[in-house]
Amino acid sequence: MIMAERTYTIDELLHVIEKNYQNPDKELIRRAFDLAEKAHKGEKRLTGDDFVSHPVAVAYTLAEMGIHLNVVAAGLLHDIVEDTDIEIETLQKEFGDDIAALVDSVTKLKQVRLKGEARYVENLRKMFLAMASDVRVVFIKFADRLHNLKTLYAMPRYKQKRTALESLEIFAPIAGRLGMNEMRGELEDASFSYLYPKDFQHVKAILDVKVREKGAYVSRLIEETENMLGETAVKNVQVHGRVKRVYSLYKKLKRYNNDTSKVYDLIAVRIIVEDVEDCYAVLGILHQKWKPVPGRIKDFIAQPKPNGYQSLHTTVFATDGEIVEFQIRTQEMHDVAEYGVAAHWRYKDPSVKTIKNVRWMQELGNIHKELDDRKQFLDQLEIMKIDLFQDRIFVFTPGGDVIDLPEGATPVDFAYAIHTEIGNTCTAARINEMMRNLDTQLRSGDIVEILTDKNRRGPNPDWLKFAKTRHARNKIKAATKHTMRGWITSVMTGRDRAKKHRGK
């Protein structure tokens, strides 16, 4: 179980800002802290700490991510309108429109007075809407939730379970879809420890043993890699070890029937270089030194994941025959891998609010408008969990474009992801140059070609039995409803004609 979270002082916050930012406006942060400290004076958290320790912890997390200082300042002020008598107009006057708007959006996210299932649903709707309008609000919400999870021990058991379940099912997967792997990992591990404490302790014990067993070996391997690369033309190389997270290992062990020998990336070696050419050069050097494991080389630089992740992965038979995974990337790729879309806001102008709005983010915004009825929203949530939050696969068109789909998706989902008309008129699929049925489950790396017939009148309603994505299912339902309505109309028209003919 997670123990008491350490508290941060304003000086520690300013220190991390000095480290992560060039010429930071420390005066802005100091003013935001002073107001937060004054406004929350006398308030205590259930942990016994002064309340101001919470907004400082939130701001610290945001500063570690290197997001623009306006977002860090808003993190310091995020509870101030809801919990004190200070109004949003005061923040506008003192800190400007951008910071005030961020605080206002976070406040609206938290203003849910419902209970039970209705509260859960309303929280999600507000979260989705906030993310579609200004994703920076969600960064603050993630940092807020992470600190609340780290101090969850002070809460009653039922609140621990409710907060942890919501975090594991919704917050962590959204962080993952935004490419924020560091945040996702922290949210998952913190939630896991409260939801399934026995499983958490069991997997953590396995991890601790393996790290102890392999730690010295990996340290020697890192040193050997550094020396080897130091003799080449590749300059300014950083080599680090990376230990797999507890919840990530738990999921992998479940997939492999608890066989740890099949988990090759329990401890991986990460190599950070200056540019893309160096990434491929290092890959070649590693393969000259150690034999690669067949089928374990992944090029996410030439074909990035849809959330922006780029890296070269290779698994090799290293010194003494140990199987080790290497990840090779530039510093910029590393920032995107750790912080995802948040990396686009690192040190940048606060007015830059938009990112490439992929379909799943658009759908989150549309959900709020489409579904006024809470029960309807909850029914749709189960589909959305599959569509948006499950593990993803990355499938290619013959032209090399990457299509991002949930695990278990079929060629029908793929066809609709490309274009509605391709989905409506698809008749067959060629997967890796082999003809396959439309209900075949796709796997990451598959190259899929959809065969269509322009004369086809519409999709087969039976496709609903295996279509996974909400997008595909909605398009199939809409098209078949239209077709059915046309069929019924033609039947009724025929009947009317027959009656008239008999009447003559």
What does the DSSP assignment read for 232-292?
SS--S-EEEEEEPPHHHHHHHHHHTTT-GGG-TTSEEEEEEESSHHHHHHHHHHHHHHSEE
What does the DSSP assignment read for 442-481?
P-TT-BEEEEE-TT--S--GGGGGT--SHHHHHHHHHHHH
Residue entry with tokens 């396995």: 206
Cβ proximity of 244 and 188 under 8 Å: no
- Here the tokens at position 452 are 């269509």
Any bridge partners for residue 330, and if so which?
Answer: 273
Cβ proximity of 272 and 329 under 8 Å: yes
User: Among the options 37, 50, 83, 439, which is catalytic?
Assistant: 83
Query: What's the half-sphere exposure (Cβ side, CA atoms, 13 Å) at 89?
Result: 1
Annotation says 83 is catalytic: yes
Annotation says 122 is catalytic: no
- Strand order of the β-sheet with 448-452 is 434-436, 426-431, 448-452
What span, in angstroms and rounded, lies between the C-alpha atoms of 431 and 378?
Answer: 35
What span, in angstroms and rounded, lies between the C-alpha atoms of 110 and 141?
Answer: 9
What span, in angstroms and rounded, lies between the C-alpha atoms of 136 and 341?
Answer: 9
What Cα–Cα distance (Å) separates residue 166 from each residue in 5, 132, 268, 296?
Answer: 20, 19, 30, 34
> Closest Cα partner for 457 from 492, 490, 431, 429?
490
What span, in angstroms and rounded, lies between the C-alpha atoms of 429 and 439?
Answer: 10
What Cα–Cα distance (Å) separates residue 168 from each residue in 34, 105, 188, 346, 418?
Answer: 34, 23, 6, 26, 30
CA dihedral 414, 416, 419, 421 (to 10 degrees): 130
Q: What angle do the packed helices 359-370 and 470-503 form, to 10 degrees?
A: 60
What span, in angstroms and rounded, lies between the C-alpha atoms of 206 and 248?
Answer: 13
User: Among the options 82, 87, 259, 370, which is catalytic?
Assistant: 82
Query: What count of other Cβ atoms lies within 10 Å of the Cβ of residue 462?
Result: 12
What Cα–Cα distance (Å) separates residue 187 from each residue in 146, 174, 333, 351?
Answer: 6, 11, 22, 28
Any bridge partners for residue 396, and if so which?
Answer: 402, 447
What span, in angstroms and rounded, lies between the C-alpha atoms of 214 and 317?
Answer: 15
> What residues are annotated to the active site?
82-83
